[in-house]
Structure formats: structure tokens, C-alpha cells
């Protein structure tokens, strides 16, 4: 399959892009490319320059934080259709705040962050669609982090002491 | 509509409802650190033949000198002569259970409580959402689906635990998957050897595909988790009357008499533990209840 056809098929498979106009679809395609990484390979590391926003097409990618004491801590796993590196399109964050690597052989759609931002500035309707989607991604990640922080399955001492 | 359930089949006489009968430990299956399944057989043969339970009911297990604990039945209702209880060793009674060996005796009262209305949902998609040891009371439902797979539509298990080592029934996962039961597993924390998902159970709803117009959700786990499961289910337009939760409280008598397990107008041991979210909704989000 030639690369352009593969790219279009990948974009069409992503629900996010299924309801946008042809014009916006072409704009998105102009800043998109396909990347593949092997199991265990890093997609990016914390501190790297933010260059791309990714959508997982196939495989599985883990998002990890590094602690000098505990090493890499896996905090989230992105499955097909999940977004990785969403903060790269925010105006403030300049560096990767976490690392990402393939847990399985993976294929991803990479959207050039600067290019996507530029398109969103040029066409605010597209900007609204993109930012609305990213707000949804950010909200779900916050919810996941909160539940992880709560440590749902921890068993506090003293609870059910008579059980 | 609630399914009819066996009511304390052991004790047909009211005055025996509070006195246990004796069962023998016939097998112990370690499941995870601090968790094991105890397989019990009632010693009295006529009781053993009469004993029935429904999906999601519980028994009170009694260890002399330590007391009683309410434990969900985690085995197949179609094989009631061998009753499985998956137990986490957290308190006086369950720690005493952890010291039992095969052939030891344990007191048993039950079964008590309401059941998952699985048989009312034949022909529909089924989502089972469980966290931690919450998979135990759902396992009888998995057996029902496994035994009668053709009666149900798509079946998805969304299961989460703290770490990969805390996952229950991992040896049965391939067997379930062979029967076209989709299994989505996530853990809160994992090391580099884990190739599965890291995240929380409600997140799995984003990834599961089912016919939301024709789906029932059964959930059991920490209440915070179930709140978000309900949230995700309602967000996908699953009606409240098709969402069922199993609650856990401090069950003592199993008769709705002592009040230890009261939540709002309900006694969980008698009116629950399985509730339709529709009837629970006014109370489920209240604090300090």
C-alpha cells in the first residue's frame, strides 16, 4: 500500500476524524504521518522537545514517569484510538512531561504539533473541533489519575477488622 | 424485576436461621497474595442435596472462637454441592479461615441476599465490571454465561486490580476467552514485565464495544469505582434499570434484623447485596451513608 493511501485509511479509521468536513480532513492529513515502533522502543522521553501528538492505530504504548529511586513507573497505557502526547498542542508545555514506549509492536498516527496549532489558528472551526477533542482527552486522563491516586484497592488497616 | 432466589436453604425452620451447619474444606485454591478460594462441602448429606444458591448471593462463614463473616459465593450455581468462597484475609474471622486446612470444619449459614438477574437478560449484551475481589461475586454469572453461551449476546468483562499479582482467576481467563467472552484487564500499577493495560476500570468503558441499547451492566468493586462505572454506563445511554451493583457493608445477621448493614432504607444483607441502580440512585451518591 502506498504511504498516502495508508495515511488516509488510518485517518478514516479514527472516530475523531469521521465527522469532520472534507476540507478539515485534508488539513489534518497535511500534518499527519504514520510511524511504527517495535516493542520496547521509546516513542519519546521526558524532557524531549514536543514535536508530535500521536494516536495509536495498532499495538499498545505505555506512558511512564521516571523516578530516580523507583525507575520508570507506568502510569497509563494507550490502546488503539487513544491519544498520546496531547500536551504537545497546548501553548504552555514545551517539553515532554512523561516518556512513552511501545509495550507491543505499534503503529501510530503522528500529527505535527506546530503544524496542527498553526492550522487551528488559521481555521478556528477546526481549532474548536481539535481543542474540544483534546479537552475530552485531558478530562478523562484527570479522572483516571484521580482514581489511581485514591488507590481503590488498598486496604486501610483497621477496616473490616472483624470480618 | 428481581429474580427469585433460594432463601437460606440450609435452614428451613425459622429458628435455625441464625445457627450454622457444618461444612468441610475440600480444597483450597490460592488466588493471589492474601486471597484464596475455599471449596466447601456440607457435611450433612441431605442438606448438601437440598442446598441451592443464586448468582451473587453470600453465605455467613463461622469459625468458632472468632465469629462470622459474610462471604460471597464465587462458584457455579449449577454445582451447588461444592460451594466456593473467595476470601481476602483482612480481619479476625478471615485470618482464622486462612489457617484452615483441607478437611477442617467451618460453620455455614445461607445463602442470603439478592441475586444478579442474569437470566432476565438472555439475548442481550452483558458487561461485567469488577474491581479487585469484586470479581468473586460475579464469577457465578460468568459460569452461567459460560454454561449457556448461546443465550447471550456479546459479553465483556472489564476487570481491574491494584497490580498484576492481585488479579484473581487468571488461570480461567483463557477458558473464558475460548467461549467468546471478551476480557479487558487493567491494573493501577505495574512493572516493566506487564504488557497489559495500566489505568482504572471505568476507563475500560472507553474501549469496550457493545450495543448500548441492548446491554446490561453488572458491577462489583470499591464503591468509588462503581460510582464511575455508573457514570460511564449512563454516559453511554444505558438506562439505570439495566445497571446492577453489588454493595458491601458490615453484614452480621443475614436477616435484616441487626441493622449493622443498613444503608438508607435498605438492609444490604436482606434487600441486597445486588441492587438495580434505579432503586439505589437516591442514596448512592450521598456521603456518610
**In the numeric block, which cell numbers belong to residue B141?**
454469572
Backbone φ/ψ region at B107: left (φ over 0), alpha (ψ -120 to 50), beta: beta
B275 lies in a domain? no
A104-136 CB burial, b ≥16 within 10 A, e <16: bebbbbbbbbebbbebbeeeeebeebbeeebee
A137 lies in a domain? yes
pLDDT in tens, B121-176: 999 999 999 999 999 999 999 999 999 999 999 999 999 999 999 999 999 999 99
- Residue range of the domain that includes B175: 118-246
Same structural domain, B132 and B233: yes
Backbone angles phi, psi at B95, to 5 degrees: -70, -35
Same structural domain, B102 and B123: no
**Res. A157: pLDDT tops 80:** no
* Residue A161 C-alpha, separation from nearest chain B C-alpha, in angstroms: 4
Specify whether the CB–CB gap between B262 and B244 falls below 8 A. Answer: no
B-chain CB neighbours of A104 within 8 Å are: 195
Q: Provide the percentage of residues in chain A whose pLDDT is more than 90.
A: 58
Query: Stretch A44-49: mean pLDDT, rounded?
Result: 89
B91/A161 Cα distance (integer angstroms): 4
Q: Provide the percentage of residues in chain A whose pLDDT is more than 70.
A: 94
Is the CA virtual torsion B160, B163, B168, B170 positive or negative?
A: positive
Query: Stretch A78-105: mean pLDDT, rounded?
Result: 89
Same structural domain, B87 and B183: no
B108/B99 Cα distance (integer angstroms): 17
* Residue B89 C-alpha, separation from nearest chain A C-alpha, in angstroms: 9
* Residue A122 C-alpha, separation from nearest chain B C-alpha, in angstroms: 31
Q: Is residue A137 less than 8 Å (CB to CB) from chain B?
A: no
A79 lies in a domain? yes
Last residue of one domain, picked from the residues B112, B143, B163: B112
A50 lies in a domain? yes
A160 lies in a domain? no
pLDDT in tens, B193-222: 888 999 899 889 888 888 888 999 999 998
A111 lies in a domain? yes
Q: Which of A77, A104, A152 sits opposite B198 (nearest CB)?
A: A77
According to DSSP, residue A39 is labeled T
Q: Out of A1-15, A107-121, A129-143, pick the least confident.
A: A1-15
DSSP string covering B132-200, please? GGGGGGGHHHHHHHHHTGGGSS-EEEEEEESSGGG-S-GGGHHHHHHTTEEEEEEESS--TT--SEES-
pLDDT in tens, B180-196: 999 999 998 887 788 89
The reported pLDDT for the residue numbered B12 is 46
pLDDT tier, A89 (very low <50, low <70, confident <90, very high otherwise): confident
B92/A79 Cα distance (integer angstroms): 42
A159 lies in a domain? no
**Res. A83: pLDDT tops 80:** yes
The reported pLDDT for the residue numbered B2 is 61
Q: Which of A62, A104, A162 sits opposite B198 (nearest CB)?
A: A62
CATH number of the domain that residue A23 is part of: 2.60.120.10
Could you give the number of structural domains in chain A? 1
Q: Which of A72, A76, A163 sits opposite B69 (nearest CB)?
A: A163
Q: Do B91 and A163 touch (CB under 8 A)?
A: yes
The reported pLDDT for the residue numbered A159 is 56
DSSP string covering A65-117, please? EEETTTEEEEEEEE-TT-EE-GGGGSSS--B-SSEEEEEEEEEEEEEEHHHHH
**Res. B105: pLDDT tops 90:** yes
Same structural domain, B87 and B155: no
Q: Is residue A2 less than 8 Å (CB to CB) from chain B?
A: no
What is the ipTM for the molecules in this complex?
A: 0.77
The reported pLDDT for the residue numbered B254 is 73
B171 lies in a domain? yes
Query: Chain A to chain B, count of Cβ pairs less than 8 Å apart?
Result: 85
Q: Which of A79, A81, A148 sits opposite B188 (nearest CB)?
A: A148
- Whole-number average pLDDT of chain B: 89
pLDDT tier, B26 (very low <50, low <70, confident <90, very high otherwise): very high
A-chain CB neighbours of B190 within 8 Å are: 74
Q: Which residues, in sequence order, are CB contacts of B224 under 8 Å at separation 6+? A: A147, A150, A152
The reported pLDDT for the residue numbered B248 is 79
- Residue range of the domain that includes A81: 3-154
A 10 A CB-CB count for B106 gives 20
Same structural domain, B63 and B105: yes
The reported pLDDT for the residue numbered A156 is 58
Specify whether the CB–CB gap between B225 and B160 falls below 8 A. Answer: yes
A-chain CB neighbours of B195 within 8 Å are: 60, 103-104
The reported pLDDT for the residue numbered B82 is 95
A 10 A CB-CB count for A39 gives 13
Same structural domain, B167 and B146: yes
**In the numeric block, which cell numbers belong to residue B11?**
435452614
Q: Is residue A139 less than 8 Å (CB to CB) from chain B?
A: no
Same structural domain, B144 and B236: yes
Query: Stretch B66-87: mean pLDDT, rounded?
Result: 94
A161 lies in a domain? no
The reported pLDDT for the residue numbered A96 is 87
* Residue A37 C-alpha, separation from nearest chain B C-alpha, in angstroms: 15
**Res. B236: pLDDT tops 80:** yes
- From the candidates B161, B192, B194, B248, which should be mutated to test the interface with A, based on the most A CB atoms within 10 A? B192
Q: Which residues, in sequence order, are CB contacts of B264 under 8 Å at separation 6+? A: B282, B283, B286, B289
B148 lies in a domain? yes
Query: Stretch B244-258: mean pLDDT, rounded?
Result: 80
- Whole-number average pLDDT of chain A: 89
Specify whether the CB–CB gap between B206 and A140 falls below 8 A. Answer: yes
* SS3 assignment, position A119: helix
The reported pLDDT for the residue numbered A49 is 84
A163 lies in a domain? no
According to DSSP, residue B286 is labeled -
Same structural domain, B174 and B232: yes
Query: Stretch A1-11: mean pLDDT, rounded?
Result: 84
Closest chain A CA to residue B133: A153
B146/B10 Cα distance (integer angstroms): 27
The reported pLDDT for the residue numbered A117 is 93
Could you give the number of structural domains in chain B? 2
Backbone angles phi, psi at B214, to 5 degrees: -140, 35
Amino acid at each position: 500500500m502506498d504511504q498516502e493511501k495508508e495515511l488516509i485509511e488510518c485517518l478514516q479509521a479514527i472516530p475523531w476524524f469521521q465527522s469532520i468536513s472534507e476540507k478539515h480532513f485534508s488539513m489534518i492529513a497535511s500534518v499527519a504521518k504514520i510511524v511504527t515502533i517495535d516493542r520496547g522502543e521509546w516513542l519519546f522521553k521526558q524532557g524531549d522537545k514536543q514535536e508530535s501528538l500521536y494516536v495509536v492505530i495498532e499495538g499498545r504504548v505505555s506512558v511512564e514517569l521516571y523516578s530516580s529511586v523507583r525507575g520508570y513507573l507506568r502510569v497509563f497505557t494507550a490502546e488503539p484510538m487513544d491519544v498520546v502526547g496531547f500536551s504537545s498542542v497546548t501553548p504552555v508545555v514545551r517539553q515532554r512531561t512523561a516518556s512513552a514506549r511501545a509495550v507491543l509492536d505499534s503503529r501510530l498516527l503522528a500529527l505535527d504539533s506546530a503544524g496542527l496549532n498553526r492550522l487551528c489558528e488559521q481555521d478556528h472551526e477546526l481549532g474548536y473541533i481539535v481543542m474540544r477533542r483534546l479537552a475530552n482527552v485531558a478530562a478523562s486522563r484527570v479522572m483516571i489519575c484521580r482514581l489511581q491516586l485514591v488507590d481503590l484497592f488498598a486496604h486501610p488497616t483497621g477496616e473490616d477488622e472483624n470480618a | 424485576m428481581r429474580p427469585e432466589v433460594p432463601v437460606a436453604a440450609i435452614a428451613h425452620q425459622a429458628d435455625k436461621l441464625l445457627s450454622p451447619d457444618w461444612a468441610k474444606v475440600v480444597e483450597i485454591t490460592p488466588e493471589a497474595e492474601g486471597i484464596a478460594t475455599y471449596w466447601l462441602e456440607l457435611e450433612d448429606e441431605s442438606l448438601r442435596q437440598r442446598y441451592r444458591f443464586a448468582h451473587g448471593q453470600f453465605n455467613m462463614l463461622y469459625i468458632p472462637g472468632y465469629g462470622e463473616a459474610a462471604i460471597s459465593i464465587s462458584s457455579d450455581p449449577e454445582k451447588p454441592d461444592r460451594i466456593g468462597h473467595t476470601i481476602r484475609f483482612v480481619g479476625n474471622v478471615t485470618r482464622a479461615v486462612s489457617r484452615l486446612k483441607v478437611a477442617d470444619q467451618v460453620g455455614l449459614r445461607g445463602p442470603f441476599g439478592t441475586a444478579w438477574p442474569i437470566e432476565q437478560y438472555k439475548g442481550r449484551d452483558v458487561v461485567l465490571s469488577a474491581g479487585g475481589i469484586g470479581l468473586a461475586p460475579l464469577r457465578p454469572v460468568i459460569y452461567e454465561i459460560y454454561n449457556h453461551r448461546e443465550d447471550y449476546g456479546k459479553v465483556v468483562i472489564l476487570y481491574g486490580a491494584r497490580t498484576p499479582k492481585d488479579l484473581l482467576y487468571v488461570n480461567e481467563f483463557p477458558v473464558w476467552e475460548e467461549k467468546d467472552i471478551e476480557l479487558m484487564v487493567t491494573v493501577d500499577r505495574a512493572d516493566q514485565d506487564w504488557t497489559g493495560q495500566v489505568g482504572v476500570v471505568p476507563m475500560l468503558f472507553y474501549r469496550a464495544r457493545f450495543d448500548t441499547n441492548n446491554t446490561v451492566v453488572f458491577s462489583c468493586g470499591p464503591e468509588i469505582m462503581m460510582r464511575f462505572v455508573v457514570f460511564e454506563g449512563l454516559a453511554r445511554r444505558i438506562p439505570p434499570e439495566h445497571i446492577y451493583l453489588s454493595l458491601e457493608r458490615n453484614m452480621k445477621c443475614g436477616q435484616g434484623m441487626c441493622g449493622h448493614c443498613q444503608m438508607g432504607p435498605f438492609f444490604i444483607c436482606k434487600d441486597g447485596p445486588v441492587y438495580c441502580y434505579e432503586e439505589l440512585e437516591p442514596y448512592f451518591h450521598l456521603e456518610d451513608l
